[in-house]
């Protein structure tokens, strides 16, 4: 980086020198005279304190108006945006990420990433500090400028590209994943500013499952070993090296254990103790194809789906006869409840209808909420079923696409027209529902943390901040 700064300054010097080729003395004289004139003229300019909104925060910076342009204290702005300042041979260089801006007071040119640009006016020294026109400086460093509530808003945060699958960690951070052909990289993203930091890069690892409280997250590697990552320190700890297939991870309410479905068919509900790595089987009832596991806060009740595939038969003795047959009469997906606190625990099917059941959630392991899709031509709805097998339709507005649970309330993304979807909040205790927002029909990937909502649109993830949608990725 130091080398780059030096090179930038050298290039600028070379370019300016070229203009005075063969008359070095004159050029120096001319340059000195210009600087002197600028300094003398600058005395007439007024330096004032201004408030810029820099990367979503109000920041005081010194400014001056000169020839219709706003000049800004290079020192103040570099501090606000986190740019590095350095001085080599009279040239000052600001560097931010992969960009650099090098200038010299009294000279109407600057070097941007090693390329010479012309400035409307030379950088000036006012009250003993350097001032440069704010617009070319911000643009050179890859930032954007806009007016917001009468203030100049400068944004130099580079939004994460290609982010997907947002999950809130806490009120200010979310985990966002970026998939490539070779691997998945998870980032911690500040939902207020979009600033991101790499958290974990993995090949074949499961999604990160955030623990209650948001201090850590769990995942399995491609072999099935379980790890926990501290989201503050980014330190990872292996909990167990057991390589059995673990298709879903669910944190216990107190964060002391992780429940999971074990085996290729998800037949067993097991748990691993975070402190000891000990694995114990909780439900082993030889019922295959469990999925969508929810665990009650006391770790006693387990709600999940059980898929019964169609029965297929084939007589392979004469291959040309195609004696294969599929009997789909018994095919079904049902919500099951297993209460380990009773004397003789056994799974109980709470539902019997043959609809598809998606986005299954259960805050208490007893009452289960899900999106019911009866068939391709019927609108999907949000349905509840309690431990006594009583079902109720909680939301039938539009054609429900997604359902998430946050803070005991349900949040529903539902298509209300060909062009629009809507986000509803449903209080399961009262069955009351409230329309929160209408969004583009392309919205998906709903994530909720209290009043904060993230959705994915075609061009990135957006968070709702005070009623307005703001990009957090691009």
Contacting another protein (CB under 8 A), which of 41, 148, 183, 234? 183
Task: Enumerate residues 348-377 that contact another protein by CB under 8 A.
Answer: 356, 358-359, 371, 373, 375-377
Report yes or no: 425 and 388 within 8 Å, Cβ to Cβ.
no
Give how far Cα 346 sits from Cα of 105, 181, 237, 282, Å.
81, 43, 35, 12
Task: Enumerate residues 437-456 that contact another protein by CB under 8 A.
Answer: 437-445, 455-456
Nearest-10 Cα torsion for 291, 297, 300, 305:
-20
Contacting another protein (CB under 8 A), which of 16, 92, 350, 402? 402
Examine residue 284 and tell whether it contacts another protein (CB under 8 A).
Answer: no
- Pick 5 or 433: Cβ nearer another protein: 433
Give the position of tokens 């379980």: 226
Task: Enumerate residues 301-320 that contact another protein by CB under 8 A.
Answer: 307, 309-314, 316, 319
For helices 2-19 and 24-42, give the axis angle rounded to 10 degrees: 100
Task: Enumerate residues 161-180 that contact another protein by CB under 8 A.
Answer: 162-164, 179-180
Q: How far is the CB of 309 from another protein (least distance, A)?
A: 5
Examine residue 431 and tell whether it contacts another protein (CB under 8 A).
Answer: no
**Phi and psi, residue 138, nearest 5°:** -65, -45
- Spatial distance between the Cα atoms of 469 and 449, rounded to a whole number of angstroms: 15
- Spatial distance between the Cα atoms of 256 and 115, rounded to a whole number of angstroms: 56
Examine residue 194 and tell whether it contacts another protein (CB under 8 A).
Answer: no
- Pick 86 or 291: Cβ nearer another protein: 291
Q: How far is the CB of 183 from another protein (least distance, A)?
A: 7
Render the burial of 361-375: b for 16+ CB within 10 Å, e for the rest.
Answer: bbbbbbbbbbbbbee
Tokens found for residue 50 = 């201004």
Q: How far is the CB of 258 from another protein (least distance, A)?
A: 15
- Pick 190 or 288: Cβ nearer another protein: 288
- Spatial distance between the Cα atoms of 231 and 229, rounded to a whole number of angstroms: 6
Pattern 200-239, another protein, x by CB under 8 A: ---xx-xx------------x-x-x---------------
- Spatial distance between the Cα atoms of 370 and 465, rounded to a whole number of angstroms: 28
Q: How far is the CB of 222 from another protein (least distance, A)?
A: 4
Examine residue 277 and tell whether it contacts another protein (CB under 8 A).
Answer: no
Contacting another protein (CB under 8 A), which of 135, 399, 405, 465? 399
CA 139 to chain centre: 26
- Spatial distance between the Cα atoms of 390 and 401, rounded to a whole number of angstroms: 23
Examine residue 142 and tell whether it contacts another protein (CB under 8 A).
Answer: no
Q: How far is the CB of 307 from another protein (least distance, A)?
A: 6
Q: How many residues bind another protein (CB under 8 A)?
A: 86
Contacting another protein (CB under 8 A), which of 14, 325, 348, 431? 325
């Amino acid at each position: 980086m130091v080398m780059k700064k030096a090179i930038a300054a050298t290039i600028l010097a070379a370019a300016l020198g070229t203009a005075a080729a063969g008359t070095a003395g004159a050029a120096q004289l001319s340059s000195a005279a210009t600087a002197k004139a600028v300094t003398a003229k600058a005395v007439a300019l007024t330096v004032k304190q201004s408030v810029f909104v820099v990367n979503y925060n109000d920041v005081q910076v010194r400014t001056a108006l000169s020839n219709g342009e706003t000049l800004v204290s290079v020192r103040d702005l570099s501090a606000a945006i986190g740019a590095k300042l350095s001085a080599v041979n009279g040239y000052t260089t600001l560097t931010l990420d992969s960009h650099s801006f090098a200038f010299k007071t009294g000279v109407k040119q600057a070097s941007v990433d090693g390329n010479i640009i012309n400035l409307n006016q030379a950088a000036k020294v006012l009250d003993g500090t350097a001032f440069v026109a704010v617009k070319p400086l911000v643009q050179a460093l890859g930032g954007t400028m806009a007016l917001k509530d009468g203030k100049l808003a400068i944004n130099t945060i580079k939004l994460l590209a290609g982010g997907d699958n947002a999950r809130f960690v806490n009120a200010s951070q979310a985990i966002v994943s970026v998939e490539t052909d070779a691997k998945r990289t998870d980032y911690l993203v500040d939902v207020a500013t979009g600033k991101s930091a790499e958290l974990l890069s993995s090949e074949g690892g499961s999604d990160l499952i955030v623990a209650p409280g948001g201090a850590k997250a769990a995942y399995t590697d491609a072999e099935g070993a379980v790890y926990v990552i501290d989201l503050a320190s980014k330190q990872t700890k292996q909990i167990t090296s057991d390589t059995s297939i673990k298709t879903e991870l669910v944190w216990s309410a107190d964060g002391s254990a992780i429940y999971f479905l074990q085996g290729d068919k998800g037949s067993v509900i097991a748990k691993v103790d975070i402190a000891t790595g000990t694995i114990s089987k909780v439900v082993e009832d030889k019922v295959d194809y469990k999925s969508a596991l929810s665990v009650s806060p006391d770790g006693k009740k387990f709600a999940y789906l059980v898929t019964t595939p169609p029965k297929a038969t084939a007589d392979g003795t004469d291959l040309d006869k195609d004696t294969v047959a599929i009997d789909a009469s018994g095919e079904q997906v049902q919500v099951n409840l297993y209460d380990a606190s009773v004397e003789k625990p056994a799974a109980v099917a709470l539902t019997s209808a043959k609809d598809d059941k998606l986005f299954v959630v259960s805050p208490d392991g007893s009452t289960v909420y899900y999106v019911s899709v009866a068939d391709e031509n019927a609108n999907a709805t949000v349905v509840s079923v309690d431990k006594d097998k009583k079902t109720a339709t909680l939301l039938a507005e539009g054609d429900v696409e997604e359902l998430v649970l946050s803070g005991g309330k349900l949040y529903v993304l539902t298509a209300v027209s060909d062009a629009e979807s809507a986000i509803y909040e449903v209080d399961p205790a009262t069955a009351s529902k409230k329309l929160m927002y209408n969004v583009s029909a392309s919205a998906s990937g709903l994530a909720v943390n209290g009043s904060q909502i993230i959705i994915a649109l075609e061009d990135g993830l957006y968070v709702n901040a005070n009623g307005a949608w703001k990009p957090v990725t691009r």
